[in-house]
Structure 1
Amino acid sequence: MKLDKIFIPLFMAAALPVMGQKNYNLSYRIETEATFSNGDNAPYWLSANKFGLGGTKKDNFYLRAGANWDKSYRHGWKLAAGLDLAAGYKTTTDLWLQQAYFDVSWRMLSLSLGSKERVNSPLDKNTALTSGWMTEGINTRPIPQVRVEIRDFYSLPFTNHWLALKGHLAYGAFTDGDWQKDFAAPGQLYVRDVKYHSKALMFRVGKKETFPLEFELGLHMATQFAGDQMRKLDDGSGELVMDMPDGFSNYINALLPSAGGSDTTWGEQVNIEGNMLGSWNVALNYYLNDWKFRVYLDHYFEDKSQMFWSYGRWKDGQIGLQVDFPKNRWISSFVWEGLCTKDQSGPLLYEGYVGSFGGLKTTGNDNYFNHYIYQSWQYYGMGMGSPLLPGPVYNKDGCMIFRSNRMKGQHIGLQGTPIPGLDWRLLASFTRHWGTYSRPFDSVKHQFYGMAEVKYTPKRFSKLTFKAALGVDNGDYIGNSVGGTVGIQLRIKN
């Protein structure tokens, strides 16, 4: 929680001087949820895609309280701030800072400082129904960062609104080093003081008021860099294994993917410094009266072998279909997604000989979401990428890697509002796991995750929202579980 000493005073210094002014929006929130289940874990969809709230253990509870403030000024200026604290039982940590941020916006451009619940990917998906995003999504706690972004599509004025763009550039820090040390078993590796970088740019071509088709194309990349690799000792302490540099040039290498210097390991010098990964994002929207059809591709890569077409067609990624229905009482949206991470450019590819055998070039075995220095693309045990690949928090041996990153899956989601104030949604996912290329499973493992949820906001008590959900897991990867969640949220606005 070292960064709390920075962000809490920053939030208070920025927000308090203007709290007494008029014409601002101020809201408070108190929220609590309790999950009860059998089996080794809580049902999967009762803990995934919730910004790291709740817990993966079979019985858990959390309480959350916070406030958000924003004020608009002349000439397109706007200020916003938020503070959100949470505490839990059988959660990853007992007490944590969920959000603490201060935003300055001018027209379409914004600067955000701190931890804030945001969808990091530029690819729009239905957050309630999607299985997640391949590179970054809403499956983990917010990472504290400094972020410049165009949050929503901005139409370029000289194109008559036919071309729009959005994107972001961010630097931050992973703060889960102490948690990793506690979680890791003796002899296992973990990391601390790791830095974070993310960037994205997305274009949209189309003007739905004139023509019913829109096309979107973008690139999203993220990086882990700097930090220390540690090994857990039998007495509970850690010994330094590798010290990665943390200078100005390392931040530049994260921004402009470059090989590491002489102060990095040999692997970083011949490749790209840090754990760099990302996704190509493509979408096509079609509007038909009050219907909307959206088809999208979220193609994941960890190096050039999947970033470009040099090694044949892309076989990995997520494809999705979203249908938004005309207003009706029962179904408002439907999502189907298919996902594959099984290929990874193959187990091994030979690029040819240069001179002697020592000049042999190989690629393949991209080992998605795992890394030889940073262990894995995770935060507090939850996967930063697609939640359909369970993160290290589910490992029983205290290892900080993804046990299976070769997977194929199918996912569907439905939601509706049958009566005012009553919302429902249904999620169902089926996955097959092969392990990793270096450690394959003896046989293919299968897993099913399902959830049914209802939320009710009474008309007479519109500040209260009640929630109940039933979750079911069945399979031989993370196991079987049946359980439920009950929760209540109180929102008060000025």
Structure 2
Amino acid sequence: MGKLHLANFLTVLLCFTIADAQVNKGMTYSVECGITTASGEYSPLWLNANKQGLSSINRNNGYLAVGVFRPIDKEKDVTYGYGLELASAYNFTSSFIVQQAYLDLKYHKIGVSIGSKERDGEFVNPCLSSGALTLSGNARPIPQVWAGLPEYVIIPGTSGWLSFRGHIAYGRFTDDNWQKEFAAPLNDRTTNVLYHSKAIYFKVEKVNKYPFRFEFGLQMETEFGGTQYRNGKTLNMPARLKNYLKALFPMPGGKDTPLNEQDNIEGNLLGSWHASLNYRLKGWNLRAYYEHYYEDASMLVMEYPWKDGMVGFEITPPANPIVNGLVYEYVGSKDQSGPIMWDKNSQINEQISARDDYYNHSIYTGWQHWGMGLGNPLFTSPVYNTDGSIVFHNNRIIAHHFGVSGCPTNEMQYRILLSQSSNWGTYKKPFKEIKKNFSALVELTYSPCKLIGLSFTISGAIDRGSLMGDNTGGMLTIRKTGLLTK
């Protein structure tokens, strides 16, 4: 794993911890070691997906991660928190990883987060879901400045029925060196890419009076700025103040951008509409959720029928030793507004805004970070490509996903994931034949009561089919957490 890297980051982390522990309370630590071995071409999908990018598709890999954290005290009006997590890895995209490094600030209802912080998708169960379509926790965190309302705030005059939350963020992708090493000579790559995110969500609920809760909202993500390298040519996308504003308020590009950016929205705009309905019934919790993914303005509104998206159902039964959570999800992305795209011109004054090509873009390397897709991992990430291209070669899929978990004893818990997908490639480069894939995970975690904070997780997983190939693997994870200060 690189003894020099490991020694350096443990030294830095230890100095930080000793110095900070003198003045802060409620600090926690975590030490985690994971080792994976597999037969086949790759490590199985559910051994490397949705792990915040701290994973590898290589058959044999491992990591050691150490972190210190101080969580936000939600009971206080003015407070702060932070996290620092560093890792040394073997057979990853890099051998030394700054997994998390952030500072959280809270002033009454307003929150600010600065740095790299792990975040999961909206309205999905991060342990049992296949992953949200826009942001799933599949790739490494993007360093950013995030500001908003992390918790719902009641809107005055609604008798407590209606509340909202939301955020605005700006950041930067950090995989420039990886792109340069991964991309084949003269293949496309885009470096120094900037990031923008915004979202608003509403909740309809009368707490302790009615058993239902309805949530809905809109999420928007944008890649902008950056330098594109294509076929030996360089294209510098503008990154001045007005371009930050154009990311905030989507609008066409100026004369300093390519023609297609002037006709459409500047940068790579994408996101999702979300809806979730929750119902409580005699100790049961039933939830249905829907995510509509869009790549441009035509699917942001209903210019074309909404045939793609994710539909999910989650059941949380009354306390029992067999099952404590059950999830089913359907993911469909085969339509993408249709196969034909046409920008109107002087000869034909007609526009067809179809063939959305999910997660891909004509300028940017697509919706990925360090090779891992930022969205749902059932869309094959660029890190799997053998031709050096940083694009999604498979984004037209129909998938069914099941997840179940339980806690048979105070010391044992399990998790099972099952996913089956049919894959068509892309409209531009379709597969000659439909490729099938089945991926499964069985995971058992032992947390001995006498050794508080220590856990051992054994995971077994397989891939079967023509998409990923036949892969069989196992993973052992040992984790220790605890308080540094009382």
TM-score w.r.t. length of structure 1 = 0.92
Q: Distance in 2 between matches of 1:177 and 1:415?
A: 38
Seen in structure 2, the aligned counterparts of structure 1 residues 95 and 15 have a Cα distance that, compared at 3 Å, is: closer
Q: Distance in 2 between matches of 1:217 and 1:430?
A: 28
What letter matches 1:20 in structure 2? Q
Structure 2 counterpart of 1:61: 62
Seen in structure 2, the aligned counterparts of structure 1 residues 418 and 374 have a Cα distance that, compared at 3 Å, is: same
Query: Does residue 1:262 correspond to 2:255, yes or no?
Result: yes
CA-CA distance at 1:153 after TM superposition:
2.2
Seen in structure 2, the aligned counterparts of structure 1 residues 472 and 71 have a Cα distance that, compared at 3 Å, is: closer
CA-CA distance at 1:60 after TM superposition:
0.5
Q: Is the Cα contact below 8 Å between 1:14 and 1:102 reproduced in 2?
A: no
CA-CA distance at 1:18 after TM superposition:
6.4
Query: Does residue 1:341 correspond to 2:341, yes or no?
Result: no
Match of 1:278 among 262, 271, 279: 271
TM alignment of 1:140-179, pairs within 5 A: 140-179=139-178
Seen in structure 2, the aligned counterparts of structure 1 residues 440 and 161 have a Cα distance that, compared at 3 Å, is: same
Unaligned runs of 5+ in 1: 1-10, 233-238
TM alignment of 1:15-414, pairs within 5 A: 19-21=21-23, 24-70=25-71, 72=73, 76-119=77-120, 121=121, 123-231=122-230, 239-311=232-304, 313-348=305-340, 357-414=347-404
Query: Does residue 1:461 correspond to 2:451, yes or no?
Result: yes
Q: Distance in 1 between matches of 2:95 and 2:330?
A: 36
What letter matches 1:375 in structure 2? T
Instruction: Report SS of the residue matched to 2:23.
Output: coil
Q: Is the Cα contact below 8 Å between 1:28 and 1:491 reproduced in 2?
A: yes
Seen in structure 2, the aligned counterparts of structure 1 residues 481 and 461 have a Cα distance that, compared at 3 Å, is: same
Seen in structure 2, the aligned counterparts of structure 1 residues 72 and 20 have a Cα distance that, compared at 3 Å, is: farther
Q: Distance in 2 between matches of 1:368 and 1:471?
A: 27
CA-CA distance at 1:209 after TM superposition:
1.3
Q: Is the Cα contact below 8 Å between 1:278 and 1:301 reproduced in 2?
A: yes
Structure 1 counterpart of 2:469: 479
What letter matches 1:293 in structure 2? L
Q: Distance in 2 between matches of 1:150 and 1:458?
A: 38
What letter matches 2:439 in structure 1? Y
Seen in structure 2, the aligned counterparts of structure 1 residues 350 and 248 have a Cα distance that, compared at 3 Å, is: closer
CA-CA distance at 1:137 after TM superposition:
1.8
TM-score w.r.t. length of structure 2 = 0.93
Q: Is the Cα contact below 8 Å between 1:407 and 1:433 reproduced in 2?
A: yes
What letter matches 2:292 in structure 1? H
Q: Distance in 2 between matches of 1:21 and 1:74?
A: 20
Is 72-81 or 223-232 further displaced after alignment? Answer: 72-81
Instruction: Report SS of the residue matched to 1:357.
Output: coil
CA-CA distance at 1:240 after TM superposition:
4.8
Q: Distance in 1 between matches of 2:133 and 2:435?
A: 21
Q: Is the Cα contact below 8 Å between 2:397 and 2:421 reproduced in 1?
A: yes
Q: Is the Cα contact below 8 Å between 1:43 and 1:472 reproduced in 2?
A: yes
Q: Distance in 2 between matches of 1:43 and 1:485?
A: 10
Q: Distance in 1 between matches of 2:15 and 2:250?
A: 36
Seen in structure 2, the aligned counterparts of structure 1 residues 469 and 296 have a Cα distance that, compared at 3 Å, is: same
Q: Distance in 2 between matches of 1:462 and 1:160?
A: 44
| Aligned residue pairs, count | 472
Q: Distance in 2 between matches of 1:320 and 1:383?
A: 20
Q: Distance in 2 between matches of 1:430 and 1:289?
A: 33
Q: Encode CA deviations 1:275-313: one digit per residue, 9 max, x unaligned.
A: 0001000111111021111101010001122211122x2
What letter matches 1:284 in structure 2? L
Q: Distance in 2 between matches of 1:408 and 1:322?
A: 20
Q: Is the Cα contact below 8 Å between 2:276 and 2:290 reproduced in 1?
A: yes
CA-CA distance at 1:162 after TM superposition:
1.2
Seen in structure 2, the aligned counterparts of structure 1 residues 185 and 349 have a Cα distance that, compared at 3 Å, is: closer
Q: Is the Cα contact below 8 Å between 1:205 and 1:216 reproduced in 2?
A: yes
Q: Is the Cα contact below 8 Å between 2:72 and 2:104 reproduced in 1?
A: no
CA-CA distance at 1:21 after TM superposition:
3.1
Q: Is the Cα contact below 8 Å between 1:15 and 1:81 reproduced in 2?
A: no
Instruction: Report SS of the residue matched to 2:166.
Output: strand
Structure 2 counterpart of 1:4: none
Q: Distance in 1 between matches of 2:74 and 2:97?
A: 33
Question: % of aligned pairs identical?
Answer: 39
Q: Is the Cα contact below 8 Å between 2:400 and 2:420 reproduced in 1?
A: yes
Q: Encode CA deviations 1:340-388: one digit per residue, 9 max, x unaligned.
A: 111011011679x88x634332221111100010021100000011111
Q: Distance in 2 between matches of 1:17 and 1:55?
A: 33
Instruction: Report SS of the residue matched to 1:195.
Output: strand
CA-CA distance at 1:78 after TM superposition:
1.2
CA-CA distance at 1:157 after TM superposition:
4.8
Q: Distance in 2 between matches of 1:198 and 1:167?
A: 10
Q: Distance in 1 between matches of 2:321 and 2:467?
A: 38
Q: Is the Cα contact below 8 Å between 1:212 and 1:287 reproduced in 2?
A: yes
Q: Is the Cα contact below 8 Å between 1:70 and 1:78 reproduced in 2?
A: no
What letter matches 2:123 in structure 1? D
Q: Is the Cα contact below 8 Å between 2:168 and 2:199 reproduced in 1?
A: yes
Structure 1 counterpart of 2:7: none
Q: Is the Cα contact below 8 Å between 1:293 and 1:324 reproduced in 2?
A: yes
CA-CA distance at 1:72 after TM superposition:
4.7
Stretches of 4+ aligned residues off by more than 6 angstroms: 11-18
Instruction: Report SS of the residue matched to 1:376.
Output: coil
Structure 1 counterpart of 2:8: none
What letter matches 2:159 in structure 1? N
